[in-house]
Amino acid sequence: PSDRAWWKSATVYQVYPASFCDHGSSGFGTIKGITSKVPYLKDLGVDILWLSPIYQSPLADMGYDISDYQALDKRYGTLDDWKELRDELHKRGMKLVMDLVVNHTSDEHAWFKESKSSIDNSKRDWYIWQPSKVNEKGEKKPPNNWKSIFGAGPAWEYDETTDQWYCHTFLKEQPDLNWENPTVRKAIWDMMHWWMKQGCDGFRMDVINFTSKAPGFPDAPIVDPSREYQPFGNLSINRPRVHDFLKEMYKEVLEQYDLFCVGECPGDEPVSAFAPYSIPSNKELQMVFHFHHQGFDRGRGGFGRTANFDWKLSDFKKVFNHWQVEMEKEGGWNSNYLENHDQPRTISRIASDHPEDRAKSAKLLSMFHCSLGGTIFIYQGQEWGLCNVPRSWGEEEYKDIETIQEIEGERQHRKKATGEANPDVSDVLKYMRQTARDNGRTPMQWDDSDNAGFSKGTPWMRVHDDYKEWNVSAQSKDDASVLAFWKKMLRIRKQYEALIYGIFVPIDEDNESTYAYVRDDKTKNEKLLVILNMARGTGRGEKSTFNIPKDIDVSKAKLLISNGSEAEGSSLASDVLDLEPFEGRIYLL
Ligand code: ISL
């Protein structure tokens, strides 16, 4: 059927270029390095490669701060290298998707340099400039109380030359573009056309729902009175104008190509606020990344990345069940990612990275991920069970600017609040170990040679200590490996389309041990039952018993795949299942 578009069943693989493969000895991943691994990706079952930014950048935020959209950063390679990568992918029927970071540029982008140079510069209005707010003491303060996403400081930076402030929802090195200006939008559309003409196959759009700000830039509600700056929330997220902008983008660019596109859309609003982006008749995007499932284990403290170690499985399930069921009702399309370069590793987060649990956990999560409706996104390392950085690593191994600012911001806040010169921030460090983006950024582990075969030089970020044992090469030779399991699971997903398109029917939602659901594809008369033992005691997996509800007909059930000892093809002897720790089973009904 026509609603089964190619991009719905595609397997997308995200590469974080700095940490993927360095063909030389710079210690920094390169495009040539990525190209050398295309056969590996093909063999895994990948259809689309999405590259995190490789454009020219001062790397204040690892390339999410772009100083020239049409030039590549020399550290990664040249446009010719990129063309070679494109050709190697296309030759194998695979596609290449680029990251589009257009909510903001780098402060070193020529547009911003011009904009900053004077109030009457023709590009002044390309960014968001506002005069100071003067307080009772006569001090010049930011135009409002918005906190930037990173750290505790304001989302505004003062510029002395013109005595105004510019808006930066992220780092001060990432000034926000003024999307209200049609000339800015036109420049973005032109740049997108340019990439499409180079043979790129689509875009992943960074924080695309941040592009419209509330008129008049009002103060954000105060959620923490002890702090000067507050989360801006809906004053710069999911505003109605974003939909106008995207409709224009669709008409001016997207519609003219058979491309792939996904918008990154953080925010706390209900599914109904996110579905419109992907409802086909709205003519905006194909799908978005939401963040609700990234919040289940996060604490709600004064700073962004606190962790809640006592989350309940039922809360986790609720989020996924809700998105699966509601998105279908709304007529939009889901995207499924568990990991990316901004998130810790799921094995450590949801299951267990204890040596005895790790492989089993990784396979369980593969079954979970591949049995959710929507397009799936795998993040490098996920396919062979990479986990969080060792807890023993010191603060100095963490390279991400968010981590650094988070710790430093809190240190400053506490200094002020307590008057202590060196306040204790060990709790922040403890949280960061669990939640930091660095967890997802350690280099790929290709083999057991020096630096895990990632680079012949010193890696920009330390390689995980476990690479001698955990690496692609070892797993490629092992039929029982996590990597072999992922390959199989990805094949099964393509073969049984109920896993992609079927109706999602949650079972026993309050069960705190087992996650179970049915995927029912009525057009193909195909029905699958997924049962996943996610029980964790003190971080380790636990046995559990699951009762299959009576209304599910299991008389013809055959085991399709499992990470446990039950033989494939076996039928169900009883509707009471004794499950081993982290055991998962998918039955064809
Ligand atoms: O990781 C987060 C902060 O805790 C997220 O809120 C993240 O900032 C958000 O997902 C937006 O991410 C994207 O835009 C950022 C960039 O730093 C991230 O790497 C990128 O994925 C700014 O461009």
Question: Mean of the pLDDT values across residues 159-167?
Answer: 97
Q: Are 375 and 8 in contact (CB under 8 A)?
A: yes
Annotated active-site residue 206? The verdict is yes
What DSSP letter does each residue of 298-323 carry, written as one string?
A: B--SSSTT-B-TT--HHHHHHHHHHH
Mutation test residue for ligand 1: of 207, 268, 335, 343, the one with most atoms within 8 Å of CB: 207
Q: Which of 564, 554, 563 is nearest to 588 (CA)?
A: 554
Rg of the chain taking only CA atoms, in angstroms: 24
Catalytic annotation, pick one of 61, 65, 206, 400: 206
Instruction: Check pLDDT > 70 for residue 301.
Output: no
Residue from 46, 214, 233 nearest 149 by CA: 233
**Ligand 1 centroid distance, CA of 82 (Å):** 25
pLDDT in tens, 127-153: 999 999 999 999 999 999 999 998 789
Test site for ligand 1: of 149, 292, 428, most ligand atoms within 8 A of the Cβ: 149
Mutate-to-test residue for ligand 1 from 55, 57, 64, 65, highest number of ligand atoms within 8 A of CB: 64
Name the band, by pLDDT with cuts 50, 70 and 90, for residue 48: very high
Q: How far, CA to CA in Å, does 480 sit from each of 157, 286, 356, 564, 566?
A: 54, 36, 15, 11, 14
277 Cα–ligand 1 center, Å: 19
DSSP string, 139-195: -EE-SS-EEPSSSSSBSEEEETTTTEEEE-SS-TTSPBB-TTSHHHHHHHHHHHHHH
CA distance 510 to 316: 11
Residues forming a β-bridge with 177: 127
Backbone phi, psi, residue 133, to 5°: -105, 125
Answer for the pair 407, 413: CB distance below 8 angstroms, yes or no.
no
pLDDT average, residue stretch 508-521:
97
What's the pLDDT score for residue 304? Answer: 63
Average pLDDT of the residues in 177-186: 98
Decide: helix, strand or coil at residue 364. Answer: helix
Domains, the chain, with CATH or none: 6-105+182-394+440-484 (3.20.20.80), 110-167 (3.90.400.10), 401-435 (no CATH), 502-588 (2.60.40.1180)
Who has greater pLDDT, 508 or 2?
Answer: 508
Strand arrangement, sheet containing 260-264: 287-289, 260-264, 202-205, 95-100, 48-51, 11-15, 375-379, 335-337
Task: Give the separation between CA 342 and CA 16, rounded to whole angstroms.
Answer: 10
**Closest residue by CA, ligand 1 atom 7:** 342
Q: Rounded to the nearest whole angstrom, what is the distance from the C-alpha of residue 579 to the centroid of ligand 1? A: 38
Q: In this structure, what token pair is assigned to residue 334?
A: 């889901």
- Residue bearing the CA closest to ligand 1, atom 15: 64
Distance separating alpha carbons of residues 332 and 256, to the nearest angstrom: 21
Which atom of ligand 1 is least distant from the CA of 150? 3
pLDDT tens profile 95-111: 999 999 999 999 999 99
Question: What φ, ψ does residue 56 adopt, rounded to 5°?
Answer: -55, 130
342 CA to middle of ligand 1, Å? 6
pLDDT on residue 2: 54
C-beta atoms surrounding 158 within 10 Å: 15
What average pLDDT does range 231-246 have in this prediction? 96
* pLDDT at residue 428 in the model: 87
Residue 300 reports pLDDT greater than 70: no
Closest CA to 533 of 401, 409, 360: 360
- How much is the pLDDT for 231? 92
Q: 61, 264, 383, 520: which one is catalytic?
A: 264
Q: Which residue has the tokens 């179970």?
A: 516
Please give the number of the atom of ligand 1 that sits closest to the Cα of 65.
23
Contacting residues for 186 by C-beta, under 8 A, at least 6 apart? none
Closest residue to atom 1 of ligand 1, CA basis? 342
Q: Which atom of ligand 1 is nearest to the CA of 103?
A: 23
- Cα 426 from Cα 430, distance rounded (Å): 6
Nearest to 202 by CA among 272, 323, 325, 287: 287
Helix axes 182-197, 240-252, angle to 10 degrees: 40
pLDDT digits (tens, 9 = 90+) for 348-369: 999 999 999 999 999 999 999 9
Per-residue pLDDT tens digits for 435-482: 999 999 999 999 999 999 999 999 999 999 999 999 999 999 999 999
- pLDDT band at residue 227 under the 50/70/90 scheme: confident
pLDDT of residue 432: 87
Q: Kind and range of the H or E element at 98? A: strand 95-100
Task: Give the three-class secondary structure for 133.
Answer: strand
For residue 413, name the pLDDT band (cuts at 50, 70, 90): confident
Quote the ligand 1 centre to 485 CA distance (angstroms): 30
Report the separation in Å between the CA atom of 343 and the middle of ligand 1, taken as the mean of its atom positions.
9
Q: Model confidence at 302, in pLDDT bands (50, 70, 90)?
A: very low
Question: Is pLDDT of 294 > 80?
Answer: yes
CA of 250 to the centre of ligand 1 (A): 24
Tell me what the mean pLDDT of segment 109-116 comes to: 98
Q: Which two tokens stand for residue 540?
A: 């380790």
Token reading at 136? 């009772």
DSSP 408-435: HHHHHHHHHHH--SS---HHHHHHHHHH
The tens digit of pLDDT for each residue in 529-547 reads 999 999 998 889 999 999 9
Give the mean pLDDT of 28-56. 98
The torsion angles phi and psi of 201, rounded to 5 degrees, stand at -110, 10
Is residue 567's pLDDT more than 80?
Answer: yes
Band of residue 303 on the pLDDT scale cut at 50, 70, 90: low
Pocket test for ligand 1, best of 342, 349, 428 (most atoms within 8 A of CB): 342
DSSP string, 486-554: HHHHHHHHHH-THHHHSEEEEE-TT-SSEEEEEEEETTTTEEEEEEEE--BSSSSB--EEEEPPTTS--
Q: What are the b/e assignments for 178-202, b being 16+ CB within 10 Å?
A: bbebeebbebbbeebeebbeeebbb
Backbone phi and psi for residue 135, each to the nearest 5 degrees, phi listed first: -85, -175
Q: Which residues line ligand 1 (CB under 6 A)?
A: 61, 64, 101, 149, 170, 206-207, 264, 266, 304-305, 341-342, 402, 437
Classified as helix, coil or strand, 216 is coil
Cα separation, 320 vs 291, whole angstroms: 11
Cross-strand partners of 55: 72
Q: How far is the CA of 339 from the centre of ligand 1 (A)?
A: 13
Which residue, by CA, sits nearest to atom 16 of ligand 1? 64
Confidence of residue 126 (pLDDT cuts 50, 70, 90): very high
How far is the CA of 283 from the CAs of 10, 246, 332, in angstroms? Answer: 20, 8, 11
Q: What is the mean pLDDT of the chain?
A: 95
Q: What is the pLDDT of residue 1?
A: 46
Query: Is pLDDT at 382 greater than 80 in this prediction?
Result: yes
- Residue 374 CB-half CA count within 13 A: 31
- 310: annotated active-site residue: no
Which of 100, 46, 97 minimizes the C-alpha distance to 376? 46
Q: Helix or strand or coil: residue 223?
A: coil
Q: Confidence class of residue 331 from pLDDT cuts 50, 70 and 90?
A: very high
Q: Across residues 416-429, what is the average pLDDT?
A: 92
Q: Give me the helix-helix angle, 401-418 and 426-435, nearest 10°.
A: 160
pLDDT band at 309 (very low <50, low <70, confident <90, very high): confident
Query: What span, in angstroms and rounded, lies between the C-alpha atoms of 354 and 350?
Result: 12
Distance CA 137, CA 130 (A): 20
Closest CA to 557 of 531, 523, 583, 581: 531
Report the distance separating Cα 379 and Cα 341, nearest Å: 8
